[in-house]
Amino acid sequence: MEARLQELKNEALAKIQAAQTVKELTDVRVAYLGKKGPITDVLKGMGKLPAEERPKMGALVNVVRAEVTESLDARMVLLEEQAINEKLQSETIDISLPGRPAKTGNPHPLTRVVEEIEDLFLSMGYEIAEGPEVEKDYYNFEALNLPKGHPARDMQDSFYITEDILLRTHTSPVQARTMEAKGGEPIKIICPGKVYRRDNDDATHSHQFTQIEGLVVGEDIRMSDLKGTLSIFAKKMFGEDREIRLRPSFFPFTEPSVEMDISCFKCGGSGCNVCKKTGWIEILGAGMVHPNVLEMAGYDSKRLTGFAFGMGPERIAMLKYGIEDIRHFYTNDVRFLTQFQRTEL
């Protein structure tokens, strides 16, 4: 019996070593250690032995079992590792193949510019005011110190619908409406929106375009405050090393009026094709709110003063991104629009 056990052990150990796969090894386990296996059979046959031999034999069976089990487990670890390695090998992919594209769109370049400006002024405590695109002559002109027959009305030939209703020619009527609604209270707003002028569409003119304006009204608002505010705007929008320069200008709704140039962001001021060799780029118009405008909206212009500024996002986008034709903003060529996907931060 003892010999039989030794024989079984050697047989099992040989088969364990011979097993090449996890499955073969599992079969060996079942064959030798299973309930119906030969070692169990030996145990079952122990009943025929004399009682004094049984403990010795039992111990021997356990030793054999342990030896076989140990060898089997060791072999199993090896084979499993081998199996995993084979599996991994077979699962290798070509990582150079392109990824599955994430479907994504992006904002229009004008929205991008407008939002950037909005966010800057929102962070300085401004609110965003909006108003109708079809406007009363009163808000578009008269409330802005442009009475009927004023020569400056020629500056912006307008689309009238009736004698008193027109497509707004600037976003300034929103300022007039806001002042009227605020009833003499201080104001800090930004007004973005679409505007319309009787222009033939070409590379630099568009009968429809966008504007964004700002208005601050309060006690003792000075021209130096306008300059400081615009300076922050220029640096945030066009780079920290931008300088600004104010030039006297004329708008009927401001007095004094200025135009703001920034030092060229391309050449830094030495002169290039972007700044037309001047080192400066005209960006916006601004000024101190004309006392007539304040008074018309019910403000005491002796007590409260203000400044306003306005600019064209098309122009800013054209300068910033080097766009050559204003019509691109309105034709919606996918090859144009998709270029404004990525961040510049």
Partner 1 sequence: MLVSTKWLKEYVNTQDLPPAELGEKITRAGIEVDAVIDRSEGLANLVVGYVTDCVKHPEADKLSICQVDVGGGEIDQIICGAPNIAQGQSVIVARPGAKLPGGMKIKKAKLRGEVSNGMICSLQELGIETKLVPKSYAEGIYVLPEKAEPGTDVLSYLDLDDTVLELGLTPNRADAMSMLGVAYEVGAILGEEVSLPEIEYTEAADSAESMLSLEVDAPEANPLYVAKVVRNVKVKESPLWLQQRLMAAGVRPHNNVVDVTNYILMEYGQPLHAFDYDSLGSGNITVRQAKEGEKITTLDDTERTLSAHQLVITNGTDPVALAGVMGGANSEVSDETTTVVIESAYFASDSIRRTSKDHNLRSDASSRYEKGVDPNRVIPAAERAAQLLAELADGEVLAGSLVFDQLDKQERIVKVSPDFINSRLGMKIRLEDMLDILSRLKFNTEAVNNQLIIEVPTRRQDIQIEEDVVEEIARLYGYDEIPATLPRTDATPGGLSPYQAKRRIARHFLEGAGLLQATTYSLTSEVAATQFALEPTETTRLLMPMSEERSILRQSLLPHLLESLSYNTARRIDSAALYETGSVFLKGQDELLDEQEHLAIVMTGLWIDHSWQGEKTAVDFFVAKGIVEGLAEKLGLELSFERGEMDGLHPGRTAFILLDGKRIGVIGALHPSEQKQRDLKETIVVELNLATLLTRETEALVYTQVSRYPTISRDVALVLSNIVEAQTIEGVIRKAGGKLLKDVRVFDLYEGDRMEQGKKSLAFSLRYFDPEKTLTDDEVNAAHEKIIQALTESGAELR
Whose Cβ is closer to partner 1: residue 154's or residue 344's?
Answer: 154
Rg, C-alpha atoms of the chain: 43
Whose Cβ is closer to partner 1: residue 98's or residue 183's?
Answer: 98
Closest CA to 286 of 313, 251, 316, 319: 251
Residue 120 C-beta: closest distance to partner 1, Å: 11
Residue 187 C-beta: closest distance to partner 1, Å: 9
239: left (phi over 0), alpha (psi -120 to 50) or beta: left
Residue 320: which H helix or E strand, with range? Answer: helix 313-321
Q: Are 271 and 279 in contact (CB under 8 A)?
A: yes
Residue 88 C-beta: closest distance to partner 1, Å: 22
Whose Cβ is closer to partner 1: residue 23's or residue 198's?
Answer: 198
Whose Cβ is closer to partner 1: residue 95's or residue 97's?
Answer: 97
Whose Cβ is closer to partner 1: residue 8's or residue 244's?
Answer: 244
Whose Cβ is closer to partner 1: residue 15's or residue 136's?
Answer: 136
Residue 53 C-beta: closest distance to partner 1, Å: 57
Residue 153 C-beta: closest distance to partner 1, Å: 9
Residue 185 C-beta: closest distance to partner 1, Å: 11
Q: Longest Cα pair distance anywhere in the chain, in angstroms?
A: 133
Helix extents (H) in 91-220:
109-123, 137-140, 172-182
Instruction: Give the long-range contacts of residues 135-141, CB within 8 A, separation 24 or more.
Output: 135/165, 135/166, 135/167, 135/168, 135/173, 136/164, 136/165, 136/173, 137/163, 137/164, 137/165, 137/166, 138/164, 139/168, 139/173, 139/176, 139/177, 140/166, 140/168, 140/169, 140/170, 140/172, 140/173
